[in-house]
Structure formats: structure tokens, C-alpha cells
Amino acid sequence: MPVGGVLLDGSSNMDRDAIKQQLERVRDAAIQRKVDFAEVRCASVAHSALVLQDGRADRLGAGKRAGMGVRVLSKGAWGFASTESLGESDWLASLEDAIGMATVSATRLDEPVILPDIPGVVDDVRTSFEIDPTSVSLDRKLAAVRGYEEASGRSARESVANLMTGYNDAHQIEIACNTRGALVSSETVRTLVWHAITAQNGTIRQRAREVRAGQAGFEIVEQTPAKELSVKAAERAVSLLSAPPAPAGKLPAVFHPSIAGLLVHEALGHNTEADAVLAGQSILDGRLGTKIAAECITVVDDSNIPGSWGSYQYDSEGTPGCRRVLVDKGTLKGFLHSLETAGKMGVEPTGSARADGFAHRPIVRMSNTMILPGQSSLEDLIADIDLGILLRAGQWGYVWCEKGQYTCHAGEGVMIRNGQLAEQVRNVSVSGLVLETLANALDVSRDFELKMPGNCGKDGQGMPVNGGGPYVKVREIVVGGQA
Amino acid sequence: MTQAAPDDLLKVAEIACDAAVKAGAEFADALAERGRDLSVSVEKNAIASTDARLRASISVRTFVAGGTGWWSASTTSEEAAREAGLRAAELAQAAESDPDFVSLVTPAPYPRVEGLYDEKLASLGAPDVASWITQNIDSALGVAADAVVSGEADAHWREYALANSLGVQAAQRTTYASVYTQVVLRRDGDVGSFYEWDSARKLTDFAPADLGAKTAGEAARYLGSRTIKTATMPVVLGPLASRAIFLGLCAAASAEDVQRKRSFLVAKKDEAIASEHVTLVDDPLVPGGLWSSRFDGDGFPHRRVTLVERGRLRTYLHSNYTAKKSGEANTGHATRVGIAPTNIRPALGQRTAAEIIGEVEDGIYVVLGHPSPDTASGQISALVDAGFRIEKGELTYPLKSTMVAGHALEWLRNVDAVSSDYREEPGLILPTVRIRSVRVASGD
């Protein structure tokens, strides 16, 4: 059902060149209206999904969404308007709406926004993939998903209470056109497969979930064996049935790469978003060039990693994405920037302005954020810990940027006793203060994973991001356990 | 702003259903909707952007031998409706059968629910919306000249129509206004922050003017936060935190999760799952309620449901599918994608929140946090986003890096007080709740 290379409004197909020409006419109308800057974006997504539950693929879905968003800077103030129409007259009406919105913003302005004078790029890019999901039959998709479910069932056997396996693909096209001359068309295919199991022993139930996702086609499914997805989830859920609760209190901890990914995204990453810094919301305000973490911590956000869930070539403002070193050996080196924040801070934009479809304006976002690996082994990291906890299977987290207080949820823990991994404990949340945790980092491993694809929420916008890192050893963290 | 009548949306929904049936669907339902959102966002005491969004969509569900196909699109044109019906029917035919599916809901009269749509609110312009949040900047600065205010003001109108192939026709218009304000105070290397909001379906229920002052006052209370010793102690959940545990309970009471054996409330119907202080009513008919409406996502008429009565679980939350599958009464809690509660209204107790806190010798008071249980295991492990130490019945100092943990059923059975006073949001009752014994982890 999903379509490639075509923007659809349900009543007529418009090819990409026609869309580009229409965008340029609206852009030219904005120039005629003498705005400081205007950006006109058309975006479409066609998606499909299937869910296999308790042996039946009884829910199949698909759909498409397309529309246009226009953002104008007028007298130093921003206005934005969007429509789910693809008609030119509706787009021109939205332009007028956006200009009206900017007039409202101007009534309470801090200082006029001045964008850096960077010439726009003209380009057409498309992410590469091996197997176009639209070319894969439903039977083939179902067979793959059913294989995951059956393998999970064989692994968990009589412990199975419920199995769910899902598959989603999305084909996204975004064309951004602005008054600086940018005209960038980005075509992206993302594919995701997931498995969730609820295991049961008497009245005890434990749940585990695994996801594999990438900027890829159906090959991501074919390259993910069941042992890395559904069997992994099944084994964890079953073993958690007999695991005791995690302890409560402050403990030395080692984070698995998935938890390191959560930590670097939630605790540090959101604080490096320059819009938060300029809004007075970030604990990193005023700390550029200073030591904010231990020497072993180097943090990078890189939107150019081929195939990674959080990657892109151009952001929604038409600025090329890049690799940005945020923290180098503990020293804060830079922030993530849009055109606006780069202009305000007098630096180069980092291509970090991303919009969730056409109905939202671009805001500063992360892409693939990670702590870089070091030289130690996991065994080295735990060797001198008498009593601590290894936290694995990162699930979710959030941060209060202004206070630097964060929490992350681990799907399981393993106690560390006398320098050895000991008994498994149940899933648990941990908490800390960003700068304390980063300063208390003691070592990082050479083992590294970038496998935390997720949909990050900010200001009502969801965005594909990825996170990862090595194993990270921290002096202590608050563990919210029950024991 | 033009206001087309939902009748034309109903026609679009019916076109989609007809197309689906013609394409081979045994049953079909469709929801067509449109709306407009106005948003004014504030960063550092100034407007960052003013946004206007027009929304339109159609979603169609179709059924063949119980197998479900759905299709959604961002338009309400008749041609798109026909395509949506056809595509959804194709998907249902490809889906595997589900013998537990019986049929869609049949036509029935809908209750009246007043106060969900306010013509004045629907006709407001962006300057009106901006004034809500700029007033709050000024009122915050009036309390604390060093306040850094961020937030957002929103006004929405939405109209939608649902039809199905058995003749169900339902339509509704709603409006919604909200203001969210966060204040950050940085003093002597310390940070105090807080957020507050107000929301309503009609302007007469909406009073955001003093929110900034209130938030700034609260933010100052969080300067000087400290950790405490890890211990087991009474925990008092304030009005906003208590909502998390009740919503978590409602999530686990979803009949879909219970029937699929992935809820800690499996086989708990008519059992005592909480102390006798806990009675929860779900009422979608409250006039002007934030979660009120005349019908659910299946088009089933809404009604008031007692979920928990003096600690005993009286019903699960059902959709048309789960009710027919189990042979139980449909409670009308379907959304288009699952099951969800509406306006949760806990029964109130005899003592005030101040009295309940006053009885605690050594404990904590949670103002903000998300102590929701894992739906399958019932385990809770959550950060106290904002809270206070209670010593000898008094709130003494704010907390940092403090977490609460336990099992939802243990927490609910340990509820030893629900306050008589409460925070009221339209449709919702948010009381203070005390749990006599909770594991609290912190940094000392």
C-alpha cells in the first residue's frame, strides 16, 4: 500500500516537481510580502503496520498523511501555519495565516530573531535500502513476524501469558524550500519490528520487549534473527519471574550500552539543545568550554550514521546534518543548533532543526547520540565493586532540564558482588543529577552498541532518535528498588 | 472561523463505510474529523512562536471474519473516504480471522453532555490566546522579578462524526483551552522550578490569569532541595501525583489487557484490590468535563461506571469487542485504538489534606511524579519529580533524587486516607491520598 516518490492528497497525485514548483510559488509570495524569512515545507508519509498476537495476525493497518507547513519570520518574530490540503490556494492562505501569527508573536518579543546569512542548498537525497518494504508481500512479512513469535513461544514455553509481535514501515518525503534559496527534498524509509512478551508464573507476571529499527527497508527484518529479538525478550521475561526485587538506595552502578544511550539522550542530550539553553532551561547554560564530566566521557551526536534510526542528511530547515562533538574528554564543546539558535550564539548551525511532519515548526532535536567507547572490558569495570548493580535493557527515561534531574528505567538489573556478576534483579528505575552522574563516571568499556531506537517527545513533537554507548561505570546512583 | 456542520462529516464517514462494504467488508466504521489549533509558545518571558494548524482526517476500520483492517488519511474529501473504505476492506480481507469478534455496535440513543463546545472559545483569535500566556509572564514577574517563564497557551476546536455499517451515526463538537506555565528561579547556584496549568472546554471554566504568580510562588519553595535516608515510610500523594496511581489502575483494568493475560488485575474482578478508602467512578457525562463525550470510539453510548467500590474491583473497562468476547456489559471505554478511562472521580474521605499530612510523623509528600505501575507486573519504581519531606506533620524541605517503589496492589491496599478537599479540573476530582508504607530510596 505505501507509495514511493509520490505525494498524495487522496484525490489527486502530484509529482515531486509539481510540488517543488508550488512550494517555490508560495515562497515567492512570501518574498512579495516582504517577510524577513520564510520556509515552506511539504511532507508526506505512507505507512503500514501489522500486529500478530497470540498466533493471529488479525490487525492490519496502513495510511497516508500529507500537507504543508509555512513558517515566516516577520519583524523579528516567528509565525507558523499548516494545512492538510495540497491545494495552492490553501497554501497561500496558510502563508497569510503565518504572517498574522508572526504579528501576534511580535507583541511580546525578547529581541528580534536574526538568522545567519547562509545560502540555501539545493539537493535531492534519498536514504538507501536493500529491500523496498512496498515490494514485500504481506505473506512474506507475516512469515517473518510469525517466526519471531514462534521462537519466543518455544523459548518461554509454559511461561507464556501473552505474545505480541509487530511490524511497521514508513516512507516519508519532506521538501523544504526557503527564502535563502534552499530547496531540499529528502526521502526516507524506516522499518521497525518489535516483540513483547508477558511471562507468568502463578500470580507473578513479568514483561519484556525488544525492538529493532533502522533507516532501512525490509532487510532489517531479514538481518535480525529471532535470538536477537523475540528470544532475547522471552529469556529476559522468564528469568525475571524468579528474580528478586532490586534494592533501594545509593549504589555503585554499571550501565549497559542501552542505559548509557538513555542516559546520554535524556540527561545530557536535552540539555545540549541550544533552544533549551537560550530559554534558560538548561543546566549547561554558561558552561561552554568548562569541565562538566569525567575525563572518560566524550559525547557525540551524529546524524550521518548510515542506516541508523535517528539519521538524516538534511534537517527540516535544509541544513546538512553532521557529526557534532558535544563533550570531549569531559569538556563541554558545543550545543545542537537550528538556524535561529546558531544566529543568536554566533556559531555555525549544526543541522539539528527537525520538524515532526508538516504540522509542526522545526525545533532543535538530537539524532544519534552516544558516549564514545574506551579501552576497558566489562570485567575491568566491575572488578573493584564490592556491592553494586549492572543495569541492562534500557526502556525509557526523562529529564527535568533546568534542574538536571533525570530518571531512566532498566528492564533488568544484575547485582555485582565482590567484583563478579551475581543474581538478576527485577526491572527498576534509577535517578540522579546529570552533572553529578557525569562527574562520577569512572570508566567506559571498549564494547559499544548503538541500539536504542525510539521516538523522542519534545513540545508535542515525536522524532526518531537513536542512542548508545559503551558500558559506563559510575561511582553511585539512586536505585528505586523495593528491597 | 467558518463552522461547517458535522453533518457533512457524517456523510463522509458513511461514504467510507459504504465503500468498505461494497469492497467486501462484513462490518465497517469510520471517523471523520477536522479542527483548528492555535498555540502560542513562550520561552524566557517572550513569545517564541505563534502557530495555527488546520487538521482533517478520516480513519476507517473494517472487519472480515473478525480480522481487522484500518486505513487513515489526512483529508476528509469524499474521494479520500471512498479510497479509505476500499483500502481498509482490502486489509481486513488479508488479515487472519478472529473468532472472538461478534459485530460492531448497533444504533442506540446517546445521552446529552452539556458544556463540551463553547462558541466564544471557538471564535477566539491568536491575540486572545497570546494574552492568556503573556498575563502569566507578568504575574510571575510580579512575584519574582528573576523568574524565567516558559510555557504555552492553546485553543482548539474539533468536530467529528462516527458512522458504522449497522446504522450508527454520532457526531460531536468540542472546544478546549489550556495554559501551561513553567517558572525557573536560579538563586545562589541553586535552582527552584515548578509547572502549573489550567484547562477547560469553555471559557467560563477557564481562569489562567494568576497561574504565573502561583507557579512562581511554588518554584521558590523548591530552592534548597535535599536527599533523605533510604527507608520505608508513609507517602502522601498530592492531587496531581494521586492521579498517576489511579490512571495506572485504570490502564491495568483494560479488559483487552486482562483478556490477553498481560495485566496484574487478571482474575481480580469482584476481589478487594484496594483498601476500603478507595472508590473510583469513571464518569464521561460530567458537563464540561475534559474527558467527557456522548459516545466512545466504537460509537457506544457513554455512561457512568463504578470501577472500584470500597476497595473492590467491580468491572473491567470494556470496548464493544472485549465486552462481547467476555459476555460482560460494555462500559463504553473504547478509543479508536484501544481502551482508556474518561473522567476519573475518586470518592472523597472525611479529613482534609492538611489533616492527613498533619498525622504523618516521618514521611514524604509527592507533589509531581509518575508513580504508575507496570501494567503487567504491577511494579512501581518512579522518581519524585517534586516533593517535600514531612516531619512531625509539617512539610519541612523539598526533595531531590528521591524515588518511590512497590507494587500497585500493595500501595492500593495500604491507602489509609483520601482527603475531603481536592483539586478540581473540569470533570476530574483530584484528592490527596496517603499510603501508609512505601519503600523510599534517596541519596543519604
The residue ranges of every structural domain in chain A are 7-241, 248-480
CB contact under 8 A, B443 and A250: yes
Residue whose C-alpha is closest to residue A449's, from A260, A254, A253, A208: A260
Query: Does B115 lie in the same domain as B29?
Result: yes
Q: How far is B160 from chain A (nearest CA, A)?
A: 16
C-alpha span between A26 and A31 (Å, rounded): 9
| Segment 360-379 of chain A within 8 Å of chain B by CB | 360-361
In a domain, B115, yes or no: yes
Query: Does B74 lie in the same domain as B148?
Result: yes
Number of domains in chain B: 2
Domain final residue pick, B180, B204, B221: B221
> Chain B interface, mutation test: which of A141, A408, A431, most B Cβ atoms within 10 Å?
A431
Cα dihedral: A30, A34, A35, A36 (round 10) = 120
Of the CA atoms within 13 Å of residue B58, those in its CB half-sphere come to: 31
Q: Which helix (H) or strand (E) holds B377?
A: none
In a domain, B1, yes or no: no
> Chain B interface, mutation test: which of A59, A95, A477, most B Cβ atoms within 10 Å?
A59
Query: Does B106 lie in the same domain as B66?
Result: yes
Three-state DSSP class for residue B161: strand
Whichever domain contains B145, its CATH number is 3.30.2290.10
Mean pLDDT of A150-174: 97
Mean pLDDT of A68-86: 97
pLDDT at B149: 97
Q: Which helix (H) or strand (E) holds A355?
A: none
Residue whose C-alpha is closest to residue A168's, from A211, A131, A139: A211
Of the CA atoms within 13 Å of residue B444, those in its CB half-sphere come to: 10
Q: How far is B123 from chain A (nearest CA, A)?
A: 15
Query: Does B398 lie in the same domain as B272?
Result: yes
CB contact under 8 A, B73 and A64: yes
Length of chain A: 483
Query: Does B246 lie in the same domain as B190?
Result: no
Of the CA atoms within 13 Å of residue B176, those in its CB half-sphere come to: 19
Q: What is the pLDDT of residues A439-460, one digit of tens each?
A: 999 999 999 999 999 999 999 9
Nearest CA in chain B to A159: B261
∠ Cα B427 B429 B432 (to 5°): 165
Query: Does B12 lie in the same domain as B40?
Result: yes
Exposure of A25 by Cβ count < 10 A (0-12 exposed, 13-18 middle, 19+ buried)? middle
Q: Measured between CB atoms, which of A98, A200, A402 is closest to B191?
A: A402
Contact status of A80 with chain B (Cβ, < 8 Å): yes
User: Above pLDDT 90, what percent of chain A?
Assistant: 92
Query: Does B273 lie in the same domain as B203?
Result: no
Q: Is the pLDDT of residue A241 over 80?
A: yes
CB contact under 8 A, B52 and A64: no
C-alpha span between B177 and B200 (Å, rounded): 5
Query: Does B208 lie in the same domain as B252?
Result: no
Contact call for residues A15 and A8 (beta carbons, < 8 A): no
Contact call for residues B336 and B328 (beta carbons, < 8 A): no
Q: Measured between CB atoms, which of A80, A108, A482 is closest to B406?
A: A482
Q: Is the pLDDT of residue A435 over 70?
A: yes
pLDDT at A58: 87
Q: Measured between CB atoms, which of A64, A78, A480 is closest to B49?
A: A78
Question: Chain centroid to CA B80: how far?
Answer: 31
Q: Categorize the per-residue pLDDT at A14 as very low, low, confident or very high, splitting at 50, 70 and 90.
A: low
Residue whose C-alpha is closest to residue B94's, from B71, B72, B64: B64
Q: Which residues pair with B382 in a beta bridge?
A: B404
Query: Does B259 lie in the same domain as B182?
Result: no
Mean pLDDT of A325-351: 97
Q: Which residues pair with B174 in a beta bridge?
A: B158
Cα dihedral: A465, A470, A473, A479 (round 10) = 40
Size of interface A-B (CB pairs under 8 A): 271
Query: Does B315 lie in the same domain as B205?
Result: no
- Architecture field, domain A7-241: 2-Layer Sandwich (3.30)
Task: Tell me the C-alpha to C-alpha distance, in Å, between residue B75 and each of A60, A84, A87, A95.
Answer: 21, 7, 12, 20
Contact call for residues B315 and B329 (beta carbons, < 8 A): yes
Read off the C-alpha cell for B63. 472487519
Query: What is the residue range of B70's domain?
Result: 6-221
CB contact under 8 A, B400 and A433: yes
As for the ipTM of the complex, it is: 0.94
Q: How far is A219 from chain B (nearest CA, A)?
A: 23
CB atoms under 10 Å from CB of A134, counted, come to 16
CB contact under 8 A, B401 and A80: no
Q: Which helix (H) or strand (E) holds B238?
A: none
Exposure of A325 by Cβ count < 10 A (0-12 exposed, 13-18 middle, 19+ buried)? middle
Read off the C-alpha cell for A159. 511461561
Length of chain B: 444
Structure pTM? 0.94
| Segment 273-312 of chain A within 8 Å of chain B by CB | 275, 278-281, 283
Query: Does B86 lie in the same domain as B192?
Result: yes
Phi, psi of B241 (to 5 degrees): -75, -35
Contact call for residues B315 and B305 (beta carbons, < 8 A): yes
Exposure of A5 by Cβ count < 10 A (0-12 exposed, 13-18 middle, 19+ buried)? exposed
User: Above pLDDT 70, what percent of chain A?
Assistant: 97
Contact status of A479 with chain B (Cβ, < 8 Å): yes
Strand pairing class (A160-178; B46-64): unpaired
Q: What is the pLDDT of residues A350-384, one digit of tens each?
A: 999 999 999 999 999 999 999 999 999 999 999 99
B443 interaction partners in chain A (CB closer than 8 Å): 250, 478
In a domain, B213, yes or no: yes
Strand pairing class (A183-201; A160-178): antiparallel
| Segment 169-228 of chain A within 8 Å of chain B by CB | 198, 200, 204-207
Read off the C-alpha cell for A29. 509570495
Residue whose C-alpha is closest to residue B302's, from B122, B156, B167, B105: B105
Exposure of A286 by Cβ count < 10 A (0-12 exposed, 13-18 middle, 19+ buried)? exposed
Residue whose C-alpha is closest to residue A463's, from A390, A357, A319, A331: A357
Residues 6 or more apart whose Cβ sits within 8 Å of residue B134: A107, A108, B42, B47
Phi, psi of A21 (to 5 degrees): -65, -35
* Average confidence score pLDDT of chain A: 94
Residues 6 or more apart whose Cβ sits within 8 Å of residue A243: A412, A423, A424, A425, A426
C-alpha span between A392 and B247 (Å, rounded): 27
Q: How far is A375 from chain B (nearest CA, A)?
A: 30
C-alpha span between A281 and A273 (Å, rounded): 10
The interaxial angle of helices B6-22 and B78-94, nearest 10 deg, is 40
Q: What is the pLDDT of residues A110-146, one digit of tens each?
A: 899 999 988 999 999 998 999 999 999 999 999 999 9
Three-state DSSP class for residue B382: strand
Phi, psi of B123 (to 5 degrees): -95, 5
Q: Categorize the per-residue pLDDT at A4 as very low, low, confident or very high, splitting at 50, 70 and 90.
A: very low
Residue whose C-alpha is closest to residue A272's, from A401, A370, A361: A401
pLDDT at B391: 98
Contact call for residues B18 and B85 (beta carbons, < 8 A): yes
Three-state DSSP class for residue B374: coil
Residues 6 or more apart whose Cβ sits within 8 Å of residue B219: B144, B147, B183, B184, B185, B192, B193, B194
| Segment 237-266 of chain A within 8 Å of chain B by CB | 245-246, 248-250
Phi, psi of B69 (to 5 degrees): -125, 135
C-alpha span between B303 and A284 (Å, rounded): 50
In a domain, B267, yes or no: yes
pLDDT at B5: 58
B137 interaction partners in chain A (CB closer than 8 Å): 108
C-alpha span between A437 and A407 (Å, rounded): 11
Digitized pLDDT (tens) for each residue of chain B, 444 residues in all: 333 458 899 999 999 999 999 999 999 999 999 999 999 999 999 999 999 999 999 999 999 999 999 999 999 999 999 999 999 999 999 999 999 999 999 999 999 999 999 999 999 999 999 999 999 999 999 999 999 999 999 999 999 999 999 999 999 999 999 999 999 999 999 999 999 999 999 999 999 988 999 999 999 999 999 999 999 999 999 999 999 999 999 999 999 999 999 999 999 999 999 999 999 999 999 999 999 999 999 999 999 999 999 999 999 999 999 999 999 999 999 999 899 999 999 999 999 999 999 999 999 999 999 999 999 999 999 999 999 999 999 999 999 999 999 999 999 999 999 999 999 999 999 999 999 999 999 988
Read off the C-alpha cell for B151. 510555557
pLDDT at B209: 86
CB contact under 8 A, A482 and B51: no
Task: Tell me the C-alpha to C-alpha distance, in Å, between residue B221 and each of B193, B218, B438.
Answer: 8, 5, 24
DSSP structural state of residue A267: I
Q: Which helix (H) or strand (E) holds B176?
A: strand B169-187
Query: Does B328 lie in the same domain as B242?
Result: yes
Contact call for residues B385 and B238 (beta carbons, < 8 A): no
DSSP structural state of residue A42: E
Three-state DSSP class for residue B268: coil
pLDDT at B6: 80
Read off the C-alpha cell for A465. 532518535
